Amino acid sequence: MKTYKYITIFIAICTSLLFVQCTDADDSDNIIGLVTCDDGLQNGDEEGIDCGGTICEACVGIVDFSGTYVQEDQMGRPGINTVFGTSGMKDSFNTTIPSSMGAAFQSSFETKLLGLNPAYTSNALGLDAATFTTVLANDVLWVAETGTTTYFNGTEILTGRNLTDDVIDVSLLLIFGGPAGTDNPTLTSDFVSANDVTFSSSFPYVANPN
Amino acid sequence: MKKTKIFAAIGGLGLAALSVFLIAADHIDAPAVAGTSTDIADFYSFQGEDPNNLVFVVDVQGLIAPGQPTEQAVFDEDVLLEINIDNNNDLVEDLVIQAIKRDTTMYFFGPVAPSQTGLNSAIDEANMSGSVPISTTTDIQTTTNNGIQFFAGPRDDPFFFDFTRYNEVIAGSATGFNNPGADTFEGTNVLSVIVEVPKSMLGSGVVGANPLAPTVPVYNVWVEAKRKQ
């Protein structure tokens, strides 16, 4: 019965649309099923409702893209603000341009790092606390122009971020693992090493929704 | 335009923004954006199936429950998603790729040099590079224009992390992770904008940015969510 009700509502909406179209005396081509540039639908190869594509006017000027858009959130590397941000600065981190981040946040990131791991001296990359947090505070993702892109694959380090990369284990290892990566063994992996659904090798790569 | 408006109004009544909960790679990272339509959940960039291309994945509004909530989760027409590419390592964007929803379509602009860098942006209407109908849970749409591929819609959240246990460790109520751990993001969805761009449109990368791979030319990339004023 529920389905039937929805069908009824759908028909009602369609009928009302039809009615609206029929009352519009300006148009002579209001035939349902015919792709037109004024049928109130995105159909054919239109890029928006009644615009773009091969026969309709370009969407620019029809669709409104005007205005100023002001930043509220940003992200480069995974988990940076979540892990290293401190109460009171997370919002300002999200609205600071990357070229100003180092000066603004390196010091507080270093304090946070030493709070998480008071025994920190260096990590598996050989970076002391000041150098490591300088890298992290400039929150941009490095992506190699050519060749393998990976957060870490055992050989390449920080040359991109694949869907399959276990970025959490990389981060935990660098924060808690010490110079040899062997310190704090219960903190250097969350023991979740892969997504629960596999990824496609083709666009759009990420799996269908659940 | 009369009919367009009426159609849009009917469509608008049927949609409702979804409030979300919890955290992740950047999911709900800060008080001002937590649970809002500008909250970036995650960001990926990797070489495409065609090695001449680079892929960008932008996830927003994380931890959407499966089923009806996914179908009701919608992109916000007031929120511009902007992928930034710095190809000379001064940490200032040289190129941007902009994405914004209008009606049932996601429109894309660039890669193009932005009219202004920094916290405020205008959409570069003259450099529209393509668009794609926003996918639903069952109607999956992708488009290609001038070698750029586009997707926008709900996806499985690709992120995996025992975030619950991590919070217990940070709070001091646990001393380490469980083995095996439990993926907090298993079975949840996000809204994704995915674009695959020929590297030839991004200029050349620069060596020296990554001290761990000093001879590899790299791009510095990041994503921003910006709200219309």
Closest to B78 measured CA to CA, from B132, B18, B36 = B36
- pLDDT confidence tier of residue A26, bands split at 50, 70 and 90: very low
User: Under an 8 A CB cutoff, do A93 and B30 touch?
Assistant: yes
A/B interface, count of CB pairs below 8 Å:
338
Question: CB-CB: which of A73, A168, A186 is closest to B176?
Answer: A186
pLDDT tens-digit series, residues B43-97:
999 999 999 999 999 999 888 888 888 888 899 999 999 999 999 999 999 999 9
Number of domains in chain A: 1
Q: Is B54 left (phi over 0), alpha (psi -120 to 50) or beta?
A: beta
Judged by CB atoms closer than 8 Å, whether chains meet at A98 and B8 is answered as no
As a whole number, mean pLDDT of residues B17-29 equals: 47
Q: Is A93 on the interface with B (CB under 8 A)?
A: yes
Label residue A92 by pLDDT band (50, 70, 90): very high
Which of these ranges, A26-30, A139-143, B105-109, B160-164, has the smallest mean pLDDT?
A: A26-30
Give the residue on A whose Cα is nearest the Cα of B212: A157
Looking at residue A1, what is its pLDDT?
A: 44
Residue-range definition of the domain harbouring residue A123: 80-176
Residue bearing the bigger pLDDT, A209 or A18 = A209
Those residues whose C-beta lies under 8 Å from the C-beta of residue A105, and which sit 6 or more positions away, are A84, A89, A93, A96, A137
> Mutating which of A6, A51, A63, A65 best tests the B interface, going by the most B Cβ atoms within 10 A?
A65
Interchain contact, B151 vs A204, CB within 8 Å:
yes
The 10s digit of each residue's pLDDT in B169-189 is 988 999 999 999 999 999 999
Question: Would you state the pLDDT for residue B6?
Answer: 34
Chain B residues closer than 8 Å to A208 by CB:
137, 140, 155-156
pLDDT digits (tens, 9 = 90+) for A29-68: 444 456 778 877 778 888 777 778 888 877 766 789 999 9
Is position A12 within any domain? no
**pLDDT computed for residue B18 by the predictor:** 24
- Of residues A13, A21, A47, nearest to B10 (C-beta): A13
Kindly state whether residue A49 falls inside one of the protein's structural domains. no
A97 contact residues in B (CB cutoff 8 A): 91-92, 117-119
Q: Which of B157, B156, B153 is nearest to B104 (CA)?
A: B153
Predicted local confidence at residue A61, as pLDDT: 67
B4 touching chain A per CB within 8 A = yes
The fraction of chain B above a pLDDT of 70, given in percent, is 86
First-last CA distance in chain A: 26
What pLDDT was estimated at residue B11?
31
- As a residue count, chain A comes to 210
Q: Looking at the predicted structure, is the pLDDT value of residue A17 above 50? A: no
Q: Which residues of B55-78 are buried (b: 16+ CB within 10 A; e: fewer)?
A: bbbbbbbbbbeeeebbbebbbbee
Residue A38 touches partner B, C-beta closer than 8 Å: yes
Rounded CA separation A145/A143 (Å): 6
Q: How far is CA A161 from the centre of its chain?
A: 12
Q: Tell whether ipTM is more than 0.85.
A: yes
pLDDT attached to residue B2: 38
Q: Is the pLDDT of residue A23 over 90?
A: no
Mean pLDDT of A61-88: 90
Give residue-wise pLDDT tens across range A143-172: 999 999 999 998 899 999 999 999 999 999
Q: Decide if A140 is inside a domain.
A: yes
Task: Please indicate if any CB of chain A lies within 8 Å of the CB of B127.
Answer: no
Q: Do A76 and B221 touch (CB under 8 A)?
A: yes
- DSSP bridge partners of B86: B220
From the number of C-beta atoms within 10 Å of its C-beta (0-12, 13-18, 19+), residue A54 rates as exposed
Q: Does A74 touch chain B (CB under 8 A)?
A: yes
Q: Which residue has the higher pLDDT, B8 or B146?
A: B146
Least confident of A37-51, A102-116, B148-162: A37-51
Give alpha helix (H) positions in B33-149. Answer: 68-72
pLDDT at A120 over 60: yes
Report CB contact under 8 Å: A81, B30: yes
Structure-token match 């070229």, residue found: A99
In which band, very low, low, confident or very high, does the pLDDT at A24 lie, cut at 50, 70 and 90?
very low
- Asked which of A84-93, A131-140, B114-123 is least confident by mean pLDDT, the reply is A84-93
User: Using one digit for the tens of pLDDT, what is the confidence trace for A181-198?
Assistant: 999 999 999 999 999 999
Q: Which residues of A touch B25 (CB under 8 A)?
A: 75, 78-79, 82, 167
Distance, in Å, from the CA atom of B19 to the CA atom of B5, rounded to the nearest integer, reads: 27
Please report the pLDDT score of residue A115 as a whole number. 94
CB B143 within 8 A of CB B132: yes
| Mean per-residue pLDDT of chain A | 84
Residue-number span of the structural domain to which B81 is assigned:
2-227
Per the structure, the count of domains in chain B is: 1
Contact call for B7 and A49, based on CB within 8 A: yes
Which residue, B80, B221, B193, B186, is CA-closest to A203?
B193
State mean pLDDT over B210-223. Answer: 92
Q: How confident is the model at residue B228 (pLDDT cuts 50, 70, 90)?
A: very high
